[in-house]
Structure 1
Amino acid sequence: MLQNLHVKNLALIDEADVEFGEGLNILSGETGAGKSIIIGSINIALGEKAPKDILRKNAEFALIELTFEVKNPNTVKRLKSLGVEISEDNIVVISKKIKPNRTIGRVNGETVSTSKIQEISSILIDIHGQHEHQSLLNRKKHLLILDEFAKKNICDIKEKISEAFSNYRKLINERENANMNVEERNRELSFLEFEINEIESADLKENEDEELEEKFRFFSNGKKILEKLNSVREITNGELGGVAELLDKAMYDVQFVVNYDDKIQNLSNELSEIESLVNDFNYELSNYISELDFDEAQFYEIDSRLNLINSLKAKYGRTINDILESYEEKTERIQVLQEYDEYIKNLDENIKKERDNLETLCNELSSIRKKASVKLVEKIKSALLDLNFLDVKFEMSFNRTKDYTNEGFDDIEFLISTNPGEPVRPLQDVASGGELSRIMLAIKAIMAEDDEIETLIFDEIDTGISGRTAQMVSEKMDLLSQSHQIICITHLPQIAAMANQHFLIEKSIEKDSKKNEMTVSRIHSLDYDQSVNELARMIGGVEITEKVIDSAREMKSLAKSKKIGL
């Protein structure tokens, strides 16, 4: 359940806190008051891209924070499987901080990606946007609805079909690319043989390039190395003023005075050790210099070998391993071309085998779908009757796609007739905007029966309806709110009257600390009398008379009696 929505510095909202409750939460207000901003802020927090101009003027950042209380143990388990750390009181906080150049999403304080937030939120909340009912005009949506209804029975078979379809398409693509005449095969064979010979003649060794590059760096800097080491040898062992000669003189001087003071003997010993270290160093340095070999011929060989390897890398891969893998692939391809007829025969047999497997799986899926469609059609017809479709016929047609897809081969379409004596026809040929809204509400209500999502949001589900139909829609919404938390933006007083919690969104002109005028949207909870006044506005418009107030009270009372009846 969505407990709290906190919004700061977003469009017309400077700061808002909304405490939602269980059951039916209604949001109402004048057109343009900012109702769409409230639902828009929720969408942004749950992963929708924020518009560039969404930040409130002069604000450094915007913040949206959603606090959910998760009651369903299965939902808690699914969230934990996604890595969500849930507190002991089962609270999940999703937040989005929006800055001019970036947005930061967090779940319970941990920064997460947008895709992760979308995955998490899909478990917690379902949002029906203003124009979502228009998606019913797209036949692909019909298949998605049926599969959602039957998901418990088709999940495994759809995974098998997806894998089989991938294998099938891979073989089909390979077969399409395999159509070659003799001349084309001979030309490719000749080129492959050239490439294989080129790689073979190189006689590559694993990690050879790394060893050669190390030697190359050493050889290419050999002259500098020798110059510097000779300079060191001149300093430490030079005949004129070298360290060794100076130490020898120092030892002579110390020995001359050592008999005059016992303490000098310690200094003499230390100087002797220094002289010994320098002599050892000079010996090792001389040996190292004498062993240095900067053979120009060897350097040329290293350079040539590296050039060869790098030229092969440019053709066949970034590393020696890549080149060797390319060699294996080319060897296999040569074998295919040399045994081409057998290869084509085997390929065709594999395609037939995979097609037969796919056909079997698709038939199995289609059978499950058809069985589920009977139940779904009956449920939709019943729900439509509850929504004032007086004499409705609803059917689902099954056709076959031209080719297989990773969803099977079913092409499904919803058909409806809303008038007696008329045949069923596709939705786009029959249904009005108001009828589509009610059909979508019926479908949402059916899906919610077995869905573990606790919160449903409806943004103006009442499009194109009024009168008795509006009353029946309000009763359907109230029935749905018995098992789910419903948050609904509406213009209809019949729906608003059913509210367990009623919120009013208002827009006003206020002054900031510098006396500058600014437009601000505010949202606040209504008590009984305030809710009646809001219903009166929704019923009567500009002029609210006592009769309109009485009508609003009566509507509120009627809604209460309907709730008791339910």
Structure 2
Amino acid sequence: MIDELRIRDLGVITEANLPLGPGLSVVTGETGAGKTMVVTAVGLLLGARSDAGAVRSGAKRATAEASLVLPADHAAVLRSREAGAEVDEFDGGAELVLARSVGADGRSKAYIGGRTAPVGVLAEVGGTLVVIHGQSEQIRLKSTNAQREALDKFGGEKVRTSLAAYQECFGQWRLALKELEQLRADARERVREAESLEASLEEIAAIDPHPGEDENLKAEAVKLANVEELRIAADAAHAVLAAEDFTEQADASTLIDSAKRTLEHVSEHDEALGALAARLTELGIMLNDTAGELASYSASLDSEGPERLAELESRRADLAKLVRKYAPSIDEVIEWAERSRVRLYELQDDSARISELEELVQTSAAQLQVLGLELGDRRRTAAMDLSQRVGAELAALAMPDASLEIEVEAASDPGPYGLDEIAFLLRPHAGAPARPLGKGASGGELSRVMLAIEVVLAEVDPVPTFVFDEVDAGVGGRAAVEIGRRLAMLAQHVQVLVVTHLPQVAAFANQHIRVTKNSVRGEDGSAVTGFTSSDVSLLEGPERVKELARMLAGQEDSGSAQAHAQELLDDAKVLLGG
């Protein structure tokens, strides 16, 4: 709810602080005092179009600011945080500040939680907090979506259960239908893709590559291309280690053996030389083993001739063709083939999937019809009840021939919220055609209609704050009392702010705010060179009785008028059970 509303240089209001507590707050004052500027200020905070003409004459800008107290998890708090606003939290609640300024040049700025924000975001946040009733473009239930949501909430658990079952079925039906349409639309493309994958997999299978084969063949080909050089090196190294013929120059094995025997002859005189002789023995064994491996390596080269090299190059060419077409390496070609086999299976299974989806779409559509018709029946029952209850409220608000007609008609196609198209229509008086809300009714009539609707919906579809302007236009007497009583009834569930000129309405208020106009003449004593300003004050006790007396008879100091005013206050308490 709005905890406090602050206005500066808006219309005739120089500066005003309006403390708005819970319940019903009324704003009263003489004609032209600036009462409607309160509504204008709230409208600015809801993102209404700015008007430089609303800036007080001589001021640079007009500002409106509201401090709101909300649950910490309220949608407005969450959206404000998303917009970067600073929100103060306390004991599970939160305080949010909205502000709007309008310059004399027409430029407007919006602020949420102390941070600048687009006016559109301000409107988005404000739309979840406050509803103004007074002009047709401000109707909360103007859109068909809002009307459907209100009717569904009024319908209670039965409608909620039916809607949930319908939406679950609708989701399944839409997913199946979308997949089926996609499969059918892509049928030719999928056939071409399957044929291409099948040919590619046959080509890869014919070559049958193995993991790492390309690198292994490359290494072997390099070896065979340099076989003669490798043989010469192996034979030369073998000759150095262990010569097969006696030559003038001894080989390494012979030299190591000679050194070993020399040390063994004297090892008994020093253990260190014995240890070295043992190490030479190990070294000799290693040299002999290495010489043997070199001889085997050289012999193996004789068995791998040009035929093997040609075979390798042919195989490498086959593998290179796969790498060029499918992936950077043979290992990745094999991975691509595995993925493609899975994809080919999916594509080849299209016909079975299409048949399955066709059956699912058909059964879901049939079930959707059943659930949608049930939901529509429950909505019609709720619509009849809502219309009757609003009609009773309208009769008490001096509109006995007015009626709210709620149409629940079959839609052309199933939608996410049912098979119905819902419309709230108002018949303002007997013989008049039923027209959409906001059309065919005066501002005062429309405000009373919306008051009647909001009173009925208050327990199931509340908005934190309602503002009513012109709600008492053209009425008086008993009807005025009923308007005040119903505003108070609505205020039991939400915060209500009303601009009124009727004392019967003002008597029901929890907070009574008066706007007083002050005219100041210019230095020359002329009204032309002067200016007009308004003060705003919260009335209590005797001051409130005097204001009601002024509204009753224009004589705030009259004893009889004040007695009548006190009687109105007492009667209001009785009517509310106080």
Q: TM-score, normalised by structure 2?
A: 0.55
- 1:440 match: 450
Equivalent in 380, 383, 397 of residue 390 of structure 2: 380
Q: What's the offset of the Cα at 1:148?
A: 3.1
Aligned runs of 1:136-175 on 2, under 5 Å?
A: 142-150=147-155, 154-155=159-160, 158=163, 161-162=166-167, 164-165=169-170, 168-169=173-174, 172=177
Which one has the largest radius of gyration?
Answer: 2
Match of 2:571 among 554, 562, 565: 562
CA contact (8 A) 1:136 1:436 kept: no
Matched, 1:460 2:470: yes
Aligned to 1:95: 98
**Aligned residue identity for 2:573:** I
In structure 2, what is the equivalent of residue 449 of structure 1?
A: 459
The 8 Å contact of residues 147 and 423 in structure 2, kept in 1 or not, is answered as yes
SS at match of 1:471: helix
Deviations 1:284-309 (A, max 9, x none): xxxxxxxxxxxxxxxxxxxxxxxxxx
* Partner AA of 2:97 in structure 1: I
Q: Could you say if the C-alpha distance between residues 172 and 492 of structure 1 is closer, same or farther in structure 2, counting changes exceeding 3 Å?
A: farther
Aligned residue number for residue 410 of structure 1 = 420
Q: Residue 231 of structure 1 corresponds to which residue in structure 2?
A: none
Q: Which runs of 5+ in 2 are unaligned?
A: 82-86, 205-334, 524-528
What is aligned with 2:372? 362
Question: Which range is displaced more, 123-132 or 352-361?
Answer: 123-132
Q: Give the 5 Å matches for 1:89-488.
A: 92-96=95-99, 98=101, 102-106=109-113, 125-131=130-136, 142-150=147-155, 154-155=159-160, 158=163, 161-162=166-167, 164-165=169-170, 168-169=173-174, 172=177, 185=188, 189=192, 344-373=354-383, 375-390=385-400, 396-413=406-423, 432-433=441-442, 434-450=444-460, 455-482=465-492, 484-488=494-498
What letter is aligned with 2:99? K
Q: Which amino acid aligns with 2:413?
A: D
Question: What is the distance in 2 between the residues matched to 1:144 and 1:451?
Answer: 9
- Over residues 393-414 of structure 1, what are the superposed CA-to-partner deviations in whole Å (9 max), with x where a residue is unaligned? 7664432211111221123345
Offset at residue 431 of structure 1 (A): 7.0
Distance in 1, Cα, partners of 2:438 & 2:76? 46
For 1:42 and 1:430, locate their aligned partners in 2 and report how far apart those are by CA, in whole Å: 24
Query: What is the CA–CA distance in structure 1 between the aligned matches of 2:516 and 2:571, rounded to whole Å?
Result: 29
1:475-532 Cα deviation digits (max 9, x unpaired): 322343455542101243432344443323355566999xx96664432234666656
Letter paired with 2:50: P
1:15-67 alpha-carbon deviations (Å, 9 max, x no partner): 3211234543211345554434322333443x525626376666478451324
Give 2:274's aligned residue: none
What is the rounded CA distance, in whole Å, between the counterparts of 2:557 and 2:409 in structure 1? 53
Q: In structure 2, what is the equivalent of residue 51 of structure 1?
A: 50
Name 1:42's counterpart in structure 2.
42
1:524 — aligned with what?
Answer: 537
1:5 partnered with 2:5:
yes
Structure-1-length-normalised TM-score: 0.56
**Could you tell me how far apart the structure 2 residues matched to 1:159 and 1:441 are?**
30
Residue pair 2:513, 2:539 contacting (<8 A) in 1 also: yes
| Distance in structure 1 (CA, Å) of the matches to 2:403 and 2:101 | 48
Distance of 1:548 and 1:349 partners within structure 2:
83
Paired with 2:62 and 2:432, the residues of 1 have a C-alpha distance of 56
Q: Retained in 1: the 8 A contact 2:545–2:566?
A: no
Shift in CA distance, 360/118, structure 1 to aligned 2, threshold 3 Å: farther
In structure 2, distance between residues paired with 1:114 and 1:38: 19
Secondary structure of the equivalent of 2:90? coil
Aligned AA for 1:38?
Answer: V
Query: Do the aligned residues in 2 keep the contact of 1:9 with 1:63 (CA within 8 Å)?
Result: no
1:28 lines up with 2:19 in the alignment? no
Contact 2:48–2:123 (Cα < 8 Å) also in 1? no
Amino acid at match of 1:104: Y
- What secondary structure does 2:15 align onto? strand
Within 1, Cα distance between the matches of 2:439 and 2:19? 41
Determine the C-alpha separation between the residues in 2 that align with 1:59 and 1:5: 20
Q: Contact conserved, 1:105 with 1:113, CA < 8 A, in 2?
A: no
Per-residue deviation, 1:187: 11
Q: Cα gap change, 1:557/1:427 in structure 2, threshold over 3 Å: closer, same or farther?
A: farther
Q: Which 5+ residue runs of structure 1 have no aligned equivalent? A: 202-323
Task: Give CA-to-partner distance per residue, 1:91-113, whole Å, 9 cap, x none.
Answer: 6242326485753310xx68888
Q: Tell me if the contact between 2:425 and 2:435 (Cα under 8 Å) persists in the aligned partners.
A: yes
Give the aligned length. 424
Quote the RMSD (CA, aligned, Å). Answer: 5.5
Q: Return the match for 2:513 from 493, 503, 520.
A: 503
Query: What secondary structure does 1:143 align onto?
Result: helix
List per-residue Cα deviations over 1:330-379 (Å, max 9, x = no partner): x96x9888777656544433432442343344345335434544543443
Q: Is the 8 A contact 1:146 1:373 kept in 2?
A: yes
Amino acid paired to 1:20 = L
- Give distance in 2, aligned partners of 1:445 and 1:169: 38
